[in-house]
């Protein structure tokens, strides 16, 4: 049930993220989600895109360091406590979250959460057993 995330290592320089996004635009790559975390010298731009392989190739062809990673995406209620309920399921199963980011989908009343966990199979099993809808690549790219 994992989806592919593209992680891009970005120099912390003026205009660098715009340059990367121009590469995506020039290659007709559509983003569904984005997360950017930075430090003094560099940042990590995490992307959910409609074609992860094409994205990685396009960026590598421009000399940019890229890594693809399997992550999970889930649908949750977009209401107070929606995320807390989701995280409590993982807590009870003792699944650790390395990082996560959310975005509002096109479906009214729901949000999507992307997460990297320490044990994907265990996370999927416990979430599905509690009725949490796991998003697949087709679901996430059309949000």
CATH code of the domain containing 91: 3.30.2130.10
pLDDT in tens, 84-124: 999 999 999 999 999 999 876 666 778 889 999 999 999 99
- This prediction has a pTM of 0.87
pLDDT one-digit tens code per residue, 21-56: 999 999 999 998 899 987 778 899 999 999 999 999
Say how many domains are in the chain. Answer: 2
Q: Are residues 63 and 75 in the same domain?
A: no
Instruction: Please tell me whether residues 43 and 78 are part of one structural domain.
Output: no
Both 107 and 62 in one domain: the answer is no
Q: Which residue has the tokens 């993982």?
A: 90
Q: Domain range holding 31?
A: 3-69
- C-alpha distances out from residue 10 to 45, 80, 101, 123, 142, Å: 7, 34, 18, 30, 26
16 and 64 both lie in a single domain = yes
Claim to verify: residue 9 and residue 29 sit in the same structural domain? yes
What is the distance of C-alpha 59 from the center of its chain? Answer: 18
Q: What tens digit of pLDDT does each residue of 71-86 get?
A: 999 988 888 998 999 9
Return the SS3 of 6: strand
Q: Is 134 in the same domain as 111?
A: yes
């Amino acid at each position: 049930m994992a989806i592919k995330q593209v992680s891009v290592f970005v120099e912390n320089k003026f205009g660098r993220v715009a340059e990367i996004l121009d590469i995506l635009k020039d290659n007709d790559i559509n983003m569904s989600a984005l997360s950017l975390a930075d430090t003094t010298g560099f940042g990590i731009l995490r992307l959910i895109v409609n074609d992860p392989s094409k994205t990685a190739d396009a960026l590598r062809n421009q000399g940019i360091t890229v890594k693809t990673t399997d992550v999970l995406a889930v649908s949750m209620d977009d209401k107070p406590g929606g995320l807390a309920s989701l995280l409590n399921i993982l807590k009870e199963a003792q699944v650790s979250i390395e990082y996560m980011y959310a975005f509002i989908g096109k479906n009214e009343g729901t949000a999507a959460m992307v997460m990297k966990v320490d044990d994907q199979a265990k996370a999927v099993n416990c979430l599905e057993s509690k009725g949490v809808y796991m998003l697949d690549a087709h679901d996430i790219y059309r949000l």
